[in-house]
Amino acid sequence: MNAASKTLRHLADLAAAGLAPADQRAALEKVAAQYAVAITPAMAALIDTADPHDPIARQFVPCAAELDVSPEENADPIGDHPHSPVDGVVHRYPDRALLKLTATCAVYCRFCFRREMVGPGKEALSPQQLDAALAYIAARPEIWEVILTGGDPLVLSPRRIRQVMTRLKAIDHVKVVRFHTRIPVAEPSRVTPELVRALKASGKATYVVLHINHPRELMEAAREACALLIDAGIPMLSQSVLLAGVNDDASTLGALMRALVECRIKPYYLHHADLAPGTSHLRTTIARGQELMRQLRGRTSGLCQPEYVLDIPGGHGKSPIGPNYLCEKTSGRYRVEDFNGGVHAYPPG
């Protein structure tokens, strides 16, 4: 395991940590020039440099395969841009809107669907842009929930987060504020009592959704960070991405979901990997994802079941794509499959 004392951001840092083979240096230079690199000490400590297939490294260490772009991949795979009426806002669904405060993350995932839009030097919202974004939300009473994303909103200081929450508090029709973040696992030391207080505002329900893909990420410090949030009355959910070589087997996926539930975090979404440029080596097939969901069903507690979803390219939103257990009617009766593969008749309803 690595013992990095600082965030690894450059190929020289990766090489010193044993994460950039000399024979791949030229290709990795091209990848790093195009897509941001950052691996925090907490994440670096989890990487087994002796394992060429380490699932943590696979998520964060640049790979030459990222230079291979498939024809179906594109820079805006889930269609943020067509649904962005003002800078920083994505309003795809009627009752909720994304507010992208920053383009910076503590770590940069190699499969990120916003990989063309995030990284050092990419613009965060200016004060004027933030004013316009909040004005857009305030003028639309149908927006019941605001989802703070980016980038990672929890890279911001508690003071900045508190300012945004104070302004959202003044918008009466916004009742729920949701933070999407990797910080509790990527940089758990950032989760302090001061940050927790900043996330809360009277009259608003705050939720934190943790992005996590492998059970090893729930190290002790990460568990403590999550407990600090939950013990303060902030419910936590999780979202994971189905990734080849990381979590695309039933034992790993089941262990991840159980570990989350043990930490009082409800598994929410399992995303099929998006068609971001240079990510085909990390995508599974949908059929494989459906089979994994079948293996989880019945063998793992209902509390551990995420919804397997596909973000439809072009900005058409998420659709559940899990396996279907209800078959067409035969002789006026439904055919229902159980988790063992048995098929049973059920009267029409």
Grade residue 45 by pLDDT with cuts at 50, 70 and 90.
Answer: very high
- My answer on whether 95 and 33 are in the same domain is no
Q: Which residue has the tokens 């907490």?
A: 42
Which secondary structure element, helix H or strand E, spans residue 159, and what is its range?
A: helix 158-169
Q: Where residue 2 falls among pLDDT bands split at 50, 70, 90?
A: low
Is 337 within the bounds of a domain?
Answer: no
* pLDDT tier for residue 24 given thresholds of 50, 70 and 90: confident
Judgement on whether residues 43 and 93 belong to the same structural domain of the protein: no
Give pLDDT, residue 30: 95
Residues 43 and 106 in one domain: no
Active-site residue flag, 197? no
Active-site position among 92, 178, 182, 190? 92
Quickly count: other Cβ atoms within 10 Å of residue 77's Cβ: 23
pLDDT tens digits for 197-216?
Answer: 999 999 999 999 999 999 99
What pLDDT, on the 0 to 100 scale, is given for residue 269? 98
Q: Which domain holds residue 223?
A: 81-323
Catalytic hit among 48, 87, 93, 335: 93
Quick one: 108 and 233 in the same domain?
Answer: yes
The verdict on whether 58 is a catalytic residue reads no
Q: What is the CATH number of the domain that holds 176?
A: 3.20.20.70
114 belongs to the catalytic site: yes
Q: Is residue 334 part of a domain?
A: no
- Cβ atoms of 132 and 86 within 8 Å: the answer is yes
Same domain, yes or no: 101 and 199: yes
- Based on the residue annotation, tell me whether 325 is a catalytic residue of this protein: no
Cβ pair 25, 33 in contact under 8 A: no
Residues 57 and 155 in one domain: no
pLDDT tens figures, 83-128: 999 999 999 999 999 999 999 999 999 999 999 999 987 878 999 9
Determine whether 92 is an active site residue.
yes
pLDDT at 23: 84
1 confidence band (pLDDT: 50, 70, 90):
low
In which residue are the tokens 């200081």 written? 157
- Marked catalytic residue, from 13, 274, 283, 304: 274
Does residue 3 carry a pLDDT above 80? no
Whether 329 maps to a domain, the answer reads: no
Q: Tell me which of 100, 114, 115, 223 is the catalytic residue.
A: 114
Does residue 90 share a domain with residue 46? no
Q: Which residue has the tokens 């300012």?
A: 163
Span 277-327, pLDDT tens digits: 999 999 999 999 999 999 999 899 999 999 999 999 999 999 999 999 988
Number of domains in the chain: 2
Q: Percent of the chain beyond pLDDT 90?
A: 88
Of 54, 76, 152, 311, which is the active-site residue?
311
Give yes or no: residues 216 and 313 share one domain. Answer: yes
Q: Is 152 a catalytic residue?
A: no
Task: Identify whether 344 is part of a domain.
Answer: no
Q: Is 96 one of the catalytic residues?
A: yes
* Average pLDDT over all residues of the chain: 95
Q: Does 305 lie in the same domain as 167?
A: yes
347 found inside a domain: no
Residue 93 bears catalytic tag: yes
The order of strands in the sheet holding 333-337 is 326-330, 333-337, 343-346
Catalytic residue among 63, 112, 226, 304: 112
Other beta carbons within 10 angstroms of residue 87's beta carbon come to: 15
Is 105 a residue of the active site? yes
Q: Give the pTM.
A: 0.94
Is the residue at 189 inside a domain?
A: yes
Distance CA(307)–CA(213), nearest Å, equals 14
The catalytic position among 175, 288, 318, 335 is 318
